[in-house]
């Protein structure tokens, strides 16, 4: 799911032999089989538990977790499911809500039950931010703060030195109640990023807020009703904080309602998980908890017919079912009223239809609903815009990028931009398509500390640009790789060293006495081999490093001296060089 599409996010990642499923969402635009991901892609006949090492849920939005009970209880999965604490707390409530709407209101059967939601949640392991969770010996995951909604997280999945980061939905700019997403420079092999707003660069938050308040205010002033379809948690709280402070400042009297019993509960979650909100709220919560509202009251269905102005937050946010749709149908006919869509709407929903300009809607039972009320769209969804996505890529420095959770056309544009700016490959597979990304894993081996210290003790070379060559022996036994010094390798294997030595006779024409010849050779070598230790030993021999040079007179010709140059194989280059050097003869000595 979520391939060139928004909805039913579900991505399967195979990394170094491990299989991880990212998110398990539902699609709001469909009511048939297509609402859930097709899990037969994972395995045709085997059990999902055998195939998947773990499942990760990024946040509690239903398009990311809506299919979870279906997946774990009806299809069957018993492995671990990871999510953050707030997600674990809120997710079952939204699932229950979703179940109620589908089963109780629409009368569908063959849907997951409340018990299944509970059983499913028992399989959930809650994770802390930045905690490294060892799923098994090799697979580890780590959560990063993602903004977006309470408890939303990005996840890093790591096996050996290969890693993938999945962003879920994220927001790079802090808003009124949450902070901005953050990740360190973890250089993953692949970054899987959402791209809801791939082509949008949003104007400043302040402008949007002012605009929003102005529209609400104007409508209320002329006695109209404002409907704001929202999801119970997330944008709702942000807009509530916004309206609450505005009402207080302007001393407004028009009532603000929040539909469904979830409100109170939802705000409670925010109070208890205040560590997940932004800095300002966290700092001041002891004095004044931002989530205790004075002006916002619970909504009752009967209030919808009350005369006079009012503002109502109603769920769900895309006008596809439930209370928001009911109120919408009641108020749609009056041009004084207004509906403000604060977030993205999936294709197929009423929200999407009215936003795309449709004014005659076909409702259930072939009824036609004419929309006269004003329709406003205001992007308050906490998704990263194009700028934000680029910023995240800059932060994480991935080697490859893969876009999901967006529309194909917009993705295409962003893909080009990413490839241009960062010179990394960017992919945008459709649903059911597999993308293979080659990684370049390095091989970790154990180096003996002795060898390492010997190498580093030499210190930096005078010319830092010149590469430092080190030499060692890699021992491979069973599955362990150890890099040791050659001497140690020999010792460990119980082998003796075989010395290979060369001795070359070099003839030199020099009528002088032997020791004078030696002295001349010594001076000559000393002059040329400046970087080497050249020594003249008392017994009349010369050493260059460990190479030994001795001179004797030729047995037949006193004018020819024989130099015996003797070296081991380890000094091969120097020895070979010395013989060829000496063969050229000595320079004419200058008096």
Catalytic residues: 194
Cα separation, 249 vs 142, in Å, equals 42
Residues 346-405 close enough to bind other proteins by CB under 8 A: none
User: CB neighbours of 287 closer than 8 A, spacing ≥ 6?
Assistant: none
In the complex with other proteins, the residue whose CB is nearer, 3 or 92, is 92
Residue 34: CB minimum distance to other proteins, A: 31
- Work out how close the CB of 460 gets to other proteins at its nearest, in angstroms, rounded to a whole number: 10
Contact present, 317 and 343 (Cβ < 8 Å): yes
* Residue 110 main-chain phi, psi, to 5 deg: 55, 45
Distances (CA, A) of 165 to 22, 349, 386, 393, 512: 10, 31, 18, 11, 78
Q: Does 541 bind other proteins (CB under 8 A)?
A: no
Please report, as residue ranges, which positions from 7 to 66 form the binding site for other proteins (by CB under 8 A). none
Q: How many CB atoms lie within 10 A of CB 262?
A: 19
The number of residues making up the chain comes to 591
Q: Is residue 68 within 8 Å of 123, Cβ to Cβ?
A: no
Token pair, residue 265, equals 């509960």
> Using the rule CB under 8 A, which residue among 12, 13, 129, 186 binds other proteins?
129
- Determine contact, residues 509/560, Cβ cutoff 8 Å: yes
Task: Tell me if 75 contacts other proteins by CB under 8 A.
Answer: no
Residues 572-591 that bind other proteins (CB under 8 A): 572-574, 576-577, 579-584
User: How is 304-340 classified by DSSP, letter by letter?
Assistant: GG-SS-EEEEES-TTSSSHHHHHHHHHHTT-TT-EEE
Q: Which is nearer to other proteins, 302 or 469 (CB)?
A: 469
> What would the x/- binding string for other proteins be over residues 212 to 251, using CB under 8 A?
----------------------------------------
**Window 422-461: residues binding other proteins (CB under 8 A):** 440-449, 452, 455-456, 461
Pick 250 or 500: Cβ nearer other proteins: 500
Between 96 and 412, whose beta carbon lies closer to other proteins? 96
- What DSSP designation does 429 have? P
Total residues binding other proteins (CB under 8 A): 88
Residue placing its CB nearer to other proteins in the complex, 75 or 129: 129
* Structure-block tokens of residue 225: 């009703």
Find the binding residues for other proteins in span 91-110 (CB under 8 A). Answer: 92
Q: Which stretch binds other proteins (CB under 8 A): 100-108, 338-346, 424-432, 529-537?
A: 529-537
Give the Cα separation of 547 and 582 in Å (integer). 14
Please tell me the distance from the alpha carbon of residue 525 to that of residue 546, in angstroms, as a whole number: 14
Please tell me what DSSP assigns to residue 129: B
Nearest to 551 by CA among 524, 591, 588, 533: 524
Give burial (CB, 10 Å; 0-12/13-18/19+) of 40: exposed
The CB-of-159 to other proteins minimum distance in angstroms stands at 15
Interface with other proteins by CB under 8 A: which range of 16-24, 81-89, 209-217, 415-423? 81-89
From the centroid of its chain, how far is CA 41? 24
Among 189-197, 211-219, 254-262, 522-530, which window interacts with other proteins (CB under 8 A)? 522-530
C-alpha–C-alpha distance, residues 141 and 451, integer Å: 34
Tell me whether residue 347 or residue 576 sits nearer to other proteins (CB atom): 576
Q: Decide if 237 contacts 270 (C-beta within 8 A).
A: yes
Shortest reach from residue 263's CB to other proteins, in Å? 12
Residue 128 in the binding site for other proteins (CB under 8 A): yes
H or E, element range at 126: strand 124-127
Q: Which is nearer to other proteins, 122 or 294 (CB)?
A: 122
**From the CB of 371, what's the least distance to other proteins, in Å?**
37
CB of residue 583 to other proteins, shortest distance in Å: 5
Torsional sign, CA 516, 519, 525, 528: negative
**Minimum distance, C-beta of residue 128 to other proteins, in the bound complex (Å):** 4
Q: Hunting for tokens 């960062």 — which residue is that?
A: 422
**φ, ψ for residue 313 (rounded to 5)?**
-90, 125
In the complex, minimum distance from the CB of residue 507 to other proteins, in angstroms, rounded to a whole number = 7
At closest approach, how far in Å is the CB of 377 from other proteins? 32
Q: What backbone phi and psi angles, to 5 degrees, belong to 524?
A: -60, -50
- In the list 104, 109, 498, 590, the residue contacting other proteins (rule: CB under 8 A) is 498
Give the whole-angstrom CA distance, residue 410 versus residue 404: 11
Minimum gap (Å) between residue 581 Cβ and other proteins: 7
Using CB under 8 A, pick the residue from 21, 24, 89, 135 that binds other proteins: 89
Please report whether residue 543 would count as binding other proteins according to CB under 8 A.
Answer: no
> What whole-number distance in Å separates Cα of residue 154 and Cα of residue 168?
6
CB-based burial label for 138 (10 Å; 0-12, 13-18, 19+): middle
Q: Work out how close the CB of 135 gets to other proteins at its nearest, in angstroms, rounded to a whole number.
A: 12
Task: Please report where in the chains the tokens 């009223």 appear, as a residue.
Answer: 337
Q: What are phi and psi of 512, to 5 degrees?
A: -70, 175
Among 501, 512, 513, 515, binds other proteins (CB under 8 A): 501
**Within positions 459 to 488, which residues make up the interface with other proteins, using CB under 8 A?**
461, 466-478, 482-483, 486-487
Binds other proteins by CB under 8 A, chosen from 130, 222, 513, 515:
130
Q: Which of 506, 518, 521, 551 binds other proteins (CB under 8 A)?
A: 506
465: which residues sit within 8 A by CB, 6+ positions away?
A: none
Residue 88's CB is within 10 A of a number of other CB atoms, namely 19
User: Which range binds other proteins by CB under 8 A, 7-15, 122-130, 194-202, 361-369?
Assistant: 122-130
Residue number, 4 or 72, with CB nearest to other proteins: 72
64 exposure class (CB count in 10 Å sphere: 0-12, 13-18, 19+): buried
Q: Which residues ranging from 147 to 176 are in contact with other proteins (CB under 8 A)?
A: 161
Return the number of the residue (284 or 334) whose C-beta is nearest other proteins.
Answer: 284
Q: In the complex with other proteins, which residue's Cβ is closer, 302 or 464? A: 464
Chain positions 243 to 302 lying near other proteins, rule: CB under 8 A, are: 265, 268-269, 271-275, 285-286
């Amino acid at each position: 799911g979520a391939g060139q599409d928004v909805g039913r996010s579900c991505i399967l990642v195979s990394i170094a032999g491990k299989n991880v499923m990212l998110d398990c969402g539902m699609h709001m635009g469909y009511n048939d089989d297509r609402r859930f991901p097709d899990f037969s892609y994972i395995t045709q006949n085997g059990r999902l538990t055998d195939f998947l090492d773990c499942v990760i849920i990024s946040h509690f939005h239903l398009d990311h977790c809506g299919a979870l009970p279906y997946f774990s209880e009806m299809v069957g999965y018993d492995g671990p499911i990871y999510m953050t604490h707030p997600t674990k707390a809120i997710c079952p409530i939204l699932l229950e809500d979703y179940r109620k709407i589908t089963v109780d209101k629409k009368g569908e059967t063959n849907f997951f039950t409340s018990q299944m939601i509970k059983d499913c949640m028992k399989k959930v392991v809650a994770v802390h931010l930045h905690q490294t969770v060892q799923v098994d010996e090799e697979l580890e995951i780590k959560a990063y703060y993602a903004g977006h909604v309470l408890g939303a997280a990005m996840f890093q999945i790591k096996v050996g030195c290969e890693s993938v980061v999945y962003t879920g939905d994220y927001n790079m700019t802090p808003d009124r109640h949450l902070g901005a997403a953050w990740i360190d420079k973890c250089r993953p092999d692949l970054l899987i990023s959402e791209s809801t707003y791939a082509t949008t660069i949003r104007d400043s938050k302040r402008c949007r807020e002012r605009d929003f308040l102005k529209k609400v205010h104007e409508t209320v002033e002329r006695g109209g009703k404002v409907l704001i379809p929202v999801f119970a948690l997330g944008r709702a709280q942000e807009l509530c904080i916004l309206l609450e402070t505005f009402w207080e400042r302007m001393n407004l009297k028009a009532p603000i309602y929040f539909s469904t019993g979830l409100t109170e509960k939802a705000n409670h979650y925010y109070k208890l998980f205040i560590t997940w909100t932004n800095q300002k709220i966290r700092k001041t919560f002891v004095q004044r908890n931002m989530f205790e509202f004075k002006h916002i009251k619970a909504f009752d269905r009967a209030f919808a017919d009350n005369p006079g102005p009012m503002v109502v937050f109603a769920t769900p946010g895309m006008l596809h079912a439930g209370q928001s749709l009911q109120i919408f149908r009641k108020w749609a006919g009056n041009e004084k009223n207004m509906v403000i869509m604060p977030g993205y709407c999936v294709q197929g929903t009423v929200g999407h239809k009215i936003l795309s300009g449709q004014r005659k809607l076909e409702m259930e039972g072939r009824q036609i609903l004419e929309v006269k009320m004003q329709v406003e769209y205001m992007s308050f969804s906490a998704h990263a815009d194009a700028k934000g996505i680029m910023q995240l890529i800059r932060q994480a420095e991935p080697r490859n990028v893969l876009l999901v959770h967006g529309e194909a056309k917009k993705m295409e544009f962003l893909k080009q931009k990413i490839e241009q700016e960062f010179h990394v490959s960017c992919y945008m597979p459709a649903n059911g398509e597999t993308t293979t990304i080659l990684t370049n894993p390095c091989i970790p081996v154990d180096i003996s500390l002795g060898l390492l210290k010997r190498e580093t003790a030499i210190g930096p070379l005078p010319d830092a640009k010149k590469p430092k060559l080190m030499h060692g022996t890699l021992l491979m036994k069973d599955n362990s790789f150890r890099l040791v010094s050659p001497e140690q390798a020999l010792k460990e294997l119980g082998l003796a060293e075989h010395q290979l030595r060369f001795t070359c006779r070099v003839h030199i024409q020099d009528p002088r006495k032997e020791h004078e010849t030696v002295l001349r050779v010594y001076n000559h070598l000393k002059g040329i081999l400046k970087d080497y230790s050249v020594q003249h030993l008392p017994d009349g021999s010369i050493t260059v490093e460990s190479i030994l040079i001795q001179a004797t007179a030729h047995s037949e010709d006193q004018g020819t001296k024989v130099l015996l140059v003797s070296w081991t194989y380890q000094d091969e280059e120097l020895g070979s060089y010395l013989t060829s050097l000496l063969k050229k003869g000595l320079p004419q000595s200058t008096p």
